[in-house]
Chain A
Amino acid sequence: MATGERQVVFSRPESLAPVRMHYCPGCTHGIIHRLVAEMLDEFDLVERAVGIAPVGCAVFAYDYFNCDMIEAAHGRAPAVATGVKRVRPDLFVFSYQGDGDLASIGMAETIHAAARGENITVVFVNNAVYGMTGGQMAPTTLLGQVTSTTPFGRDAKTAGHPIRMCELLATLDGPAYLARVTVTSPRRVREAKRALRRAFEAQERGLGFALLEVLSTCPTRWGMPPEKALSWVEDEMTTQYPIKEFVCAEELRGDKAEGDS
């Protein structure tokens, strides 16, 4: 390369629309969006993908991805994704859902799509709180965690226990890929990208249900500055929700899925 010649080494993924996102400062929804878009680019899916947006802070995801998008009712994204995928198996269908959406109101849809081995990819953003509605308790809220509806901290006696979705779904035979990652550091982001690649690959190879749980920050509803929110994920959330690959179909090990980002 001639000296002085400039080269673009980093740019916005083509699948990510050039618009300003509405997420709060320090919210990791944006990083997760970017990873999804990078995968859409990498697998050359923008003309063949249909994304399902949730009800939750990611509701406007339909404005952020350049592929066809459907906005689903609260919790129903896996059923909507099933409807699309069953009639058009040639399309790549993914949903993007929060913890209230996926693990509370949409629990039945999630479990049954997984049990059917529905050939879809689910990106599950677990921020242990209801972001959009003002910081209420989520099914994934930690014991002792203060939310607007557990003002004295979540008490198992009255508010029950947190739900570990990957562990729950791993009891089923339908999932081809289940993993939990986070995006709190560059290394974590790279690991998350590797896992997301497998979650995409699973569908492209027709292996069955794939879900990637991403531990995400909500500095606004947690009442923490962004940096502290990142360490709260590492210090508190990962102990309750271990970073781990739970299910990985044989076909996904090795080759392309193994490649680094």
Chain B
Amino acid sequence: MRPSTHRQSETKAMPIERGKRILMRGNEVVAQAAMDAGCRAFFGYPITPQNQIPDYMARHMPEVGGVFLQAESEVSAINMVYGAAAAGVRVMTASSSPGISLKQEGISYIAEAELPCVIVNIMRGGSGLGNIAPSQADYFQSVKGGGHGDYRTLVLAPWSVQELYDLTREAFDLADRYRGPVLVVGDALLGQMMEPVVLAEEVVDPSSLPAKPWATTGARGRPHNVINSLYINPPDLAASNMRLQERYQEAARREVRFEGEHLEDAKIAVVAYGTAARVAAGAIKEARAEGVQVGLFRPITLFPFPSTQLAEVADKVDTILVVELSAGQMVEDVRLAVEGRAEVRFMGKCGGVVFTPAELVEAMTSLAREGH
């Protein structure tokens, strides 16, 4: 077929400045972070509110000699990720909630086949087609495995554009270290907002990364490699499952991340991540100005969940207030961690509705009034 004469975009690639504060959109920062981490392949399918990630990749991946491909569906995209990861390349896909649902079979295969890759979910309101507003309703899907079988994915939950950069980069190291898929979860707000960010001066040269002797790159001078998740003999599959479980336990020992604010004197600890934590932090400042002794516990790794650390906080406070952009998902993990050490209250907004700081201040002050 003859190529059409559609106009070419005139926009010139602007060199980004590193090592100083610049203004960038969350989604674009995710894409840049991946390339800075040595990611050289991106496969995706359009879905709002993450479209700036593939757009940015399409424009900039060729500059670093990488591969960008718009797949025919999220199902294909994740299977292209499977192939590229099997060939030993740092690879990423990004999507939003409905698209991430479609990827689940592939993620399960990738996990059992022990392939490193990074998957970004810029969450939107669900269920079903839902809407394109900010949401955290994919918490269960993210941290409990998501697809079929006995696997988990490490889950990182940034709350700022800077953290989108730092954690997306780190996700690639974690994926290689634990040989599995790592999820970075943001939401429509984080992906769309523009904020100052400092991009690191050093970027990863993929050729400097440790070799992957298990990769399928041609059986030259070694026996053939097989990337597989089929273990027809149950004890073999059990052994593979358990190998994954050991890795998760190691990750729980080494990789748990969280942040605390104003917890020293707190009687109320708000537990929130991502955008919800962002709104809560502002509200906490206001409530403290009104004399409420309230602090913030912010999980940064959602899996492994900072359970031990949260239990320690629970020992010191009267009430834990879980604030989520969902009908109540992380609150279950909080209850498991707290094990009755403190009263756990839940405050959620779902369907893409976001809290106003005033609503949260009101919740905190009324909790304080209740005598907690």
Chain A interface residues toward B at CB < 8 A: 46-50, 52, 59, 62-63, 65-73, 76, 79-88, 91, 108-109, 111-112, 173
Q: Does B263 contact A (CB under 8 A)?
A: no
Closest residue of chain A to B71 (Cβ to Cβ) is A79
Q: By the criterion CB–CB under 8 Å, are A80 and B80 in contact?
A: yes
Q: By the criterion CB–CB under 8 Å, are B83 and A70 in contact?
A: yes
Of B8-16, B224-232, B273-281, B295-303, the one with at least 4 CB within 8 A of chain A: B224-232
**Min C-beta distance of B35 to chain A, whole Å:** 14
Please name all residues of chain A whose beta carbon is closer than 8 Å to the beta carbon of B73 when the two chains form the complex. 108
Q: Does B245 contact A (CB under 8 A)?
A: no
> Which residue of B41, B72, B76, B230 is within 8 Å of A86 (Cβ)?
B41
The 7 A-B pairs of least Cβ separation, nearest first, read: A83-B83, A79-B79, A68-B216, A83-B80, A80-B83, A112-B72, A76-B79
Chain A to chain B contacts (Cβ below 8 Å), 7 pairs: A48-B218, A65-B224, A66-B224, A68-B226, A84-B216, A108-B76, A173-B1
Q: By the criterion CB–CB under 8 Å, are B79 and A86 in contact?
A: no
Chain B interface residues toward A at CB < 8 A: 1, 40-41, 43, 67, 69, 71-73, 75-77, 79-87, 89, 91, 105-106, 109, 113, 216-221, 224-230
A76–B73 alpha-carbon span in the complex (Å)? 11
Closest residue of chain B to A93 (Cβ to Cβ) is B83
**Min C-beta distance of A169 to chain B, whole Å:** 15
Please name all residues of chain B whose beta carbon is closer than 8 Å to the beta carbon of A88 when the two chains form the complex. 87, 89, 217
A79 touching B224 in the complex, CB below 8 Å, given contacts A46-B219, A69-B216, A91-B218: no
Q: By the criterion CB–CB under 8 Å, are A48 and B81 in contact?
A: no
**Min C-beta distance of A73 to chain B, whole Å:** 5
Interface of A is mostly: mixed
Q: By the criterion CB–CB under 8 Å, are A87 and B227 in contact?
A: no
16 further contact pairs, Cβ within 8 A, besides A67-B218, A86-B84, A112-B76: A46-B219, A48-B218, A50-B216, A52-B83, A59-B230, A69-B216, A70-B83, A72-B79, A72-B82, A79-B76, A80-B82, A82-B80, A82-B83, A83-B79, A83-B80, A84-B216
Q: By the criterion CB–CB under 8 Å, are A68 and B69 in contact?
A: no
Q: How many A-B residue pairs have CB under 8 A?
A: 131
Q: By the criterion CB–CB under 8 Å, are A69 and B224 in contact?
A: yes
A111–B73 alpha-carbon span in the complex (Å)? 12
> Which residue of B43, B84, B86, B106 is within 8 Å of A73 (Cβ)?
B106
Please name all residues of chain A whose beta carbon is closer than 8 Å to the beta carbon of B76 when the two chains form the complex. 76, 79, 82, 108-109, 112
A59–B227 alpha-carbon span in the complex (Å)? 12
Q: By the criterion CB–CB under 8 Å, are A73 and B105 in contact?
A: yes
A67–B226 alpha-carbon span in the complex (Å)? 9
A47 touching B216 in the complex, CB below 8 Å, given contacts A80-B79, A84-B87: no
A254–B227 alpha-carbon span in the complex (Å)? 37
A76–B110 alpha-carbon span in the complex (Å)? 13
Please name all residues of chain B whose beta carbon is closer than 8 Å to the beta carbon of A72 when the two chains form the complex. 79, 82, 109
Please name all residues of chain B whose beta carbon is closer than 8 Å to the beta carbon of A46 when the two chains form the complex. 219
Q: By the criterion CB–CB under 8 Å, are B83 and A68 in contact?
A: no
Please name all residues of chain A whose beta carbon is closer than 8 Å to the beta carbon of B1 when the two chains form the complex. 173
A85–B86 alpha-carbon span in the complex (Å)? 11
Please name all residues of chain B whose beta carbon is closer than 8 Å to the beta carbon of A76 when the two chains form the complex. 75-76, 79, 82, 106
Closest residue of chain A to B41 (Cβ to Cβ) is A87
Please name all residues of chain B whose beta carbon is closer than 8 Å to the beta carbon of A87 when the two chains form the complex. 40-41, 67, 83-84, 87, 89, 91
Closest residue of chain B to A116 (Cβ to Cβ) is B69
A62 touching B228 in the complex, CB below 8 Å, given contacts A83-B86, A88-B217: yes
A108–B71 alpha-carbon span in the complex (Å)? 10
**Min C-beta distance of B89 to chain A, whole Å:** 4
Q: By the criterion CB–CB under 8 Å, are A84 and B84 in contact?
A: yes
A218–B354 alpha-carbon span in the complex (Å)? 58
Q: By the criterion CB–CB under 8 Å, are B67 and A50 in contact?
A: no
Please name all residues of chain A whose beta carbon is closer than 8 Å to the beta carbon of B72 when the two chains form the complex. 108-109, 111-112
Q: Which residue of A86, A87, A88 has the most chain B CB atoms within 10 A of its CB atom?
A: A87
